């Protein structure tokens, strides 16, 4: 994790023409396999490995003593936090987003603190998520604002931080009967992530074009709500294809 600061230093120094940072950044013996630029994804991947370690440690923990209603409330606030950041960052209402995020983090903190002594997973995920999210929001003005292509430091830290809160949200959601089914369905997709990643472009879109159904799907671009429904339908089809493969133990690893 500490090496990420050195990776960041090379990225920032590479903008200076003639510097050794620029030479290191541009050096690649095998362009098709390695570029220093690809190391940017470590800013998301390495924090994710922490979540994996904490989940493994939590696997044998008994959740019977956890206040389920309080945990559901924490999960709901986490989903609100994610939704507000997506909406307000997209709308470029940055000051309001920072204020709302701070208020929600304080509320979640006090709820988590009440049950954290018996649940290190919640405490760790909250601390990591809050740190990364706030760090990303402080980076937001840099590099022209948050965006994925080309990706920015704000993008790395905000998405990594929100992912921790998504994990907390699902943790709370699975305590209800309906919520546990939703989490199980999503988990089946997560177990076969590469299939989920390519099923849309390599399978569904070709089939839609061959059958002519793509015209029906494209006709739903007319309004915001029909466009939203189009996204839900397409994503739902991708998920069903992925679940089909997962249940038959047909996995694509990379």
Residue 7's pLDDT is what? 93
Cα 109 to the center of its chain, rounded Å: 20
Residue 236 CB: number of other CB atoms within 10 A? 10
Residue 66's pLDDT is what? 66
Residue 180's pLDDT is what? 84
Residues with pLDDT less than 70, the chain: 62-67, 116-118
CB 168 within 8 A of CB 122: yes
pLDDT for 74-118, tens place per residue? 989 999 999 999 999 999 999 999 999 999 999 999 998 887 666
Q: How far apart (Å, rounded) are the C-alpha atoms in residues 198 and 147?
A: 22
Residue 33's pLDDT is what? 86
Residue 104's pLDDT is what? 96
DSSP 201: I
Torsion of CA 115, 118, 121, 123, to 10 degrees: 50
Q: How far apart (Å, rounded) are the C-alpha atoms in residues 85 and 133?
A: 10
E-only strand ranges, the chain:
none
DSSP reduced 3-state for 245: helix
Torsion of CA 15, 21, 22, 23, to 10 degrees: 180
Q: How far apart (Å, rounded) are the C-alpha atoms in residues 43 and 153?
A: 8
Q: Which two tokens stand for residue 15?
A: 């903008």
């Amino acid at each position: 994790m500490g090496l990420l600061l050195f990776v960041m230093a090379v990225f920032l120094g590479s903008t200076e023409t003639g510097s050794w940072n620029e030479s290191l950044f541009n050096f690649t013996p095998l362009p098709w396999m390695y570029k220093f630029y690809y190391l940017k994804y470590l800013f998301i991947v390495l924090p994710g490995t922490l979540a994996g370690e904490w989940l493994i440690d939590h696997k044998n923990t008994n959740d019977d003593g956890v206040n389920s209603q309080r945990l559901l409330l924490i999960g709901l606030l986490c989903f609100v936090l994610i939704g507000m950041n997506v909406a307000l960052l997209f709308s470029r209402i940055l000051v309001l987003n920072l204020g709302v995020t701070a208020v929600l983090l304080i509320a979640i903190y006090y709820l988590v603190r009440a049950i954290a002594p018996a649940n290190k997973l919640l405490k760790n995920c909250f601390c990591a998520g809050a740190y990364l999210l706030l760090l990303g929001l402080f980076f937001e003005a840099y590099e022209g604002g948050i965006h994925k292509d080309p990706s920015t430091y704000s993008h790395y830290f905000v998405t990594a931080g929100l992912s921790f809160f998504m994990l907390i949200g699902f943790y709370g959601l699975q305590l209800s009967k309906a919520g546990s089914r939703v989490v199980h369905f999503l988990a089946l997709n997560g177990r076969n992530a590469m299939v989920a990643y390519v099923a849309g472009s390599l399978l569904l879109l070709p089939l839609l074009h061959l059958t002519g159904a793509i015209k029906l799907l494209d006709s739903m671009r007319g309004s915001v709500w029909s466009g939203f429904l189009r996204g839900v339908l397409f994503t739902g089809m991708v998920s069903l294809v992925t679940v089909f493969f997962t249940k038959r133990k047909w996995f694509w690893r990379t």
